Structure 1
Amino acid sequence: MLLAFGLSFVTLLVVADEGGALVSPAPVETAFRAIKRSASGKLELADTAELARVRREQPHFWFIARSDGGEIVQSGDVPDIYRGMTVALDRMTYSDIRDDGPPSNYLAVIRRMTNEEGSFTVFGQGTLLSQPSLILSFSRLFVAPMLVLLALVTIFAVPRIVNRAIRGISDLARETDEINITHRSHRLAETAVPSEVRPLVRGINSALHRLDQSYGQHQRFILDAAHELRTPVAILQARLDLLASGPERDRLISDCERISALAEQLLDLQRLEADARPFTAVDIVALCRNVVADLAPLAIDEGYDLSFEQNTEQSLIQGDAVSLERAVTNLVQNAIEHAGNQGVIVVRVEPDGVIEVSDDGPGIPEAERERVFEAFYRLKPRERGAGLGLNLVLQIAQRQRPREHPHLTERRCLLSAGL
């Protein structure tokens, strides 16, 4: 825009000047710089190289300067038509004079100039300023500085202006980190973003609302189905108990127990999400000790030694004691079922709040260590279990991890269980 303005202004100057060119005061300025005071105190023109060049280029160059004190300095023959003006230089300050056209013998300029010798009114022969010279001069004096200013504004001011305008978008991007499966109700703020972006934010919030509703319906369906399943399973178990003992009855009871366990795990998953209990202070040393005491008879019956180790007397965290106890219990039960009915199962509490469950079983292949946390995924088909245990533990660990400690990872405690 600045460049367009500059070119338009130059074009206006050129078009407004009927001859297509302006008068340049350069020769007069060169002569003025040559004014010196001699040893006798008289003003005169010194023979400078610049003045000699002007006289070579303009053989008929003329120049006259009058100081405010009335002293006159003159060089060359003043044209007859201007001799009457030289006596009135004290009343003149500025003028550009040009004749009709070539050979342009009467080009002249009048200027007020000052140097160390004082202030002068100078009157002398000018020269034509061509259009390229005019454009170059104007660019040097106006356009180029403005372009430099524009560049500085672009480099320093524009980024700040843009950053200030879109700061809300950066905050919005950080807000998206708050959206996850456990915080589905969170919506993006519309107030701090540019108006052009608000329709997009509203669209995203609307989509999140629809997803939240659909997910809620899905969860309610699973919860209702699990509840409905418990009654017929209980009736089936009661009727199976009335059958005569035998291999077929035992197989049916085992299948029925598996269905019952699946229903209970589905209910556990839904309770975990529905029961958004506030976190309280939990001593995980005492919690794990109680779990070990409760499950010790079961572990011993299955051929294991169940051990509890603590590397600290007390480890207080903010969490949900019920969910944590359920998770540790689930890990120990998995170890009892999958460790081969031999060896030692160890529940260990570290000083930094890490719970570790280990056993002497074959362990989890490295390639499967991520997939074992998927719902219904099982390393080996078994008659018992539904493949939801570790998924439940994972969700409990994710919920227990506080936002102020994002470096804590649930994988450390879960993968330590040698399944």
Structure 2
Amino acid sequence: MRGPSLKRPLIVYPLIVHLVTLLVSVLILIGGALRIDSGGPYADEKITPVIAAAIDRDPAGGLVIRQTEALSALQTEAPQLWFLVEDDAGNSVDFGAVPPVFEAFRGRLAGLSFAQLRDRTPPHPMTAILRRETADIGALTILGHGPLLELNLIVLLASTVVFLPIILLLSLTSFAITPWIVRRALTGIARIALEAERIDPDRRGRRLSEAHVPREIAPLVRAMNDALRRLDEGHERQQRFISMASHELRTPIAVLQAKVENAGDPAVRALGDDIQRLTILTEQLLDLTRMAQGGTPAPVDLAALARGVVADLAPLAIAGGRTMEVKVGSRETCLGDAAALERVLMNLLRNALDHGGRHVVLRVMGRVLEVEDDGPGIPADQRERVFEPFYRLRPQGGGSGLGLNLVAEVVARHDGRVTIRAAPGRGTIVRVELGLGNVTETHALK
């Protein structure tokens, strides 16, 4: 089950908060502007370009008004239209009922450029706009009264023109940049995840790096490192206990074996097989301990190693009335632990001799080893389980249940895999492939 994503609390929620905050701020500003301003409506600025386009000159250079379609439409829209126009030479012309109070501006408009005059008393006849426009006949200063705009509409238009692009820009940048910022901020966590994936029981002593981790995540990383340290300490104590116990058991077992072999009572001497099982179990526990400690890899001649192991086990095979054979295809060295690989072949061959048939074949094909016997075989549904520690195919048998588990551990440490399949006719083939890269699983072919 997938857990909740950090994108929503780190990206979506802050963005919503920012947008709501901006919207509330805009509404407060609009409300404040509407409450503070009490000067009445505004004169619409669109009249000055229309008026400027309707001004022309007479032959004497004075200003005259031409009745344009735009000016006629403006008169229809605002019957109370009036305006006063003046050029830089002091020539002026007026239209409509210019309030007497503005007559004082006649002859002085050329010195002005911008003004918004507001009348607080309805119907606001003195609300006017003053703008400087450039027409075909030159620069003109226009003071006029036309359609009136309420402050609410002006503020709404202004907020739409100003704040809407800001909101859109903020939204786009937040959706585009915030995820990138979050990814950059969480890069250290991704590195920790990769480091954590490399941690396994065979590579102890590793710790997660705190160098690129956000301060908020650092306590979790330190807690994980403390947990890894405690696990390493517990594993080391366990390995020391197994090693010391195995070493301590070897001496009393050897003494007991000598006494049993020299005993005159046949019933006592019959205990020799059980003592042998104890000896093998102790040696295998020591093998596991030594393997956990690791060693320095070196080139191993697998063909020479196979011949040496077969030679060591030849007396055991002859005593049991069995035969062994080594078949070498291509010779190839393998980088690894020669002693550990020798224990792999020793365990596989002894299993084949103890539980197989009359003839055992060891094949060496480059970095691939195969041990084939002509025994009763291993059932398909148990070929995976035989690699489990202390699992025995035949509970009444004489094995310890650690041999094939040790094989699987050693092969995994050599970047390989061990598989089991049925031999042609009858029997079992155990195949060991070494140096496969990062393959560490143990598979059984059905």
TM-score clears 0.5: yes
Match of 1:81 in 2: 101
Equivalent of residue 104 in structure 1, options 124, 148, 153: 124
- More divergent stretch after superposition (196-205 vs 361-370): 361-370
Q: Structure 1, residues 49-84: CA drift from partner, whole Å, max 9, x if none?
A: 6x5554333211234444557676755443332232
Shift of 1:273: 1.0
Match of 1:277 in 2: 295
Distance (whole Å) between structure 2 residues aligned to residue 289 and residue 251 of structure 1: 33
Shift of 1:188: 0.9
Match of 1:47 in 2: 68
Q: Cα 1:92–1:393, aligned 2, differ >3 Å: closer, same or farther? A: same
1:348 aligned partner, one-letter code: V
CA contact (8 A) 2:113 2:131 kept: yes
Match of 2:439 in 1: 408
Equivalent position SS for 1:145: helix
Equivalent position SS for 1:411: coil
1:124 aligned partner, one-letter code: G
Equivalent of residue 28 in structure 1, options 34, 47, 59: 47
- More divergent stretch after superposition (210-219 vs 258-267): 210-219
Shift of 1:15: 2.6
Shift of 1:197: 1.0
Distance (whole Å) between structure 2 residues aligned to residue 306 and residue 299 of structure 1: 11
Q: Cα 1:263–1:53, aligned 2, differ >3 Å: closer, same or farther? A: farther
CA contact (8 A) 1:28 1:63 kept: no
CA contact (8 A) 2:92 2:107 kept: no
2:309 aligned partner, one-letter code: V
1:220 to 2:240 alignment: yes
CA contact (8 A) 1:255 1:383 kept: no
Q: Report matched runs for 1:165-184 at 5 Å.
A: 165-184=185-204
Shift of 1:139: 2.8
- More divergent stretch after superposition (362-371 vs 387-396): 362-371
Q: Cα 1:209–1:12, aligned 2, differ >3 Å: closer, same or farther? A: same
Distance (whole Å) between structure 2 residues aligned to residue 224 and residue 116 of structure 1: 109
CA contact (8 A) 1:258 1:383 kept: no
Shift of 1:136: 2.8
CA contact (8 A) 2:344 2:407 kept: yes
TM-score, normalization by structure 2: 0.79
CA contact (8 A) 2:299 2:335 kept: yes
Q: Structure 1, residues 132-155: CA drift from partner, whole Å, max 9, x if none?
A: 423432332221111122122212
Match of 1:243 in 2: 263
1:155 to 2:175 alignment: yes
Equivalent position SS for 2:406: helix
Q: Report matched runs for 1:241-390 at 5 Å.
A: 241-244=261-264, 246=266, 248-249=267-268, 251-274=270-293, 276-299=294-317, 301-310=320-329, 312-314=330-332, 316-339=333-356, 341-350=357-366, 353-390=367-404
Q: Structure 1, residues 251-296: CA drift from partner, whole Å, max 9, x if none?
A: 411111111111111111011112x222223333443343344445
CA contact (8 A) 1:10 1:138 kept: no
Equivalent position SS for 1:313: coil
Shift of 1:32: 5.2
Q: Report matched runs for 1:197-212 at 5 Å.
A: 197-212=217-232
1:307 aligned partner, one-letter code: V
Match of 1:91 in 2: 111
Match of 1:59 in 2: 79
Q: Structure 1, residues 75-118: CA drift from partner, whole Å, max 9, x if none?
A: 54433322322432211122221111322222212233457776
Shift of 1:33: 7.7
Shift of 1:213: 1.3
Equivalent position SS for 2:165: helix
1:121 to 2:148 alignment: no
- More divergent stretch after superposition (35-44 vs 125-134): 35-44
Q: Structure 1, residues 334-386: CA drift from partner, whole Å, max 9, x if none?
A: 222222x2344333324xx3433343444444443433222111222143221
2:159 aligned partner, one-letter code: S
Distance (whole Å) between structure 2 residues aligned to residue 39 and residue 371 of structure 1: 113
Q: Number of aligned pairs?
A: 405
Equivalent position SS for 1:172: helix
Shift of 1:217: 1.5
Equivalent position SS for 1:103: coil
RMSD over aligned Cα, in angstroms? 3.3
- More divergent stretch after superposition (169-178 vs 280-289): 280-289
TM-score, normalization by structure 1: 0.84
CA contact (8 A) 1:299 1:306 kept: no
- More divergent stretch after superposition (163-172 vs 298-307): 298-307
Identical counterparts, % of pairs: 38
Distance (whole Å) between structure 2 residues aligned to residue 108 and residue 202 of structure 1: 73
1:234 to 2:234 alignment: no
| Structure 1: gaps (5+ residues) | none
1:397 to 2:411 alignment: yes
1:47 aligned partner, one-letter code: T
CA contact (8 A) 1:302 1:336 kept: no
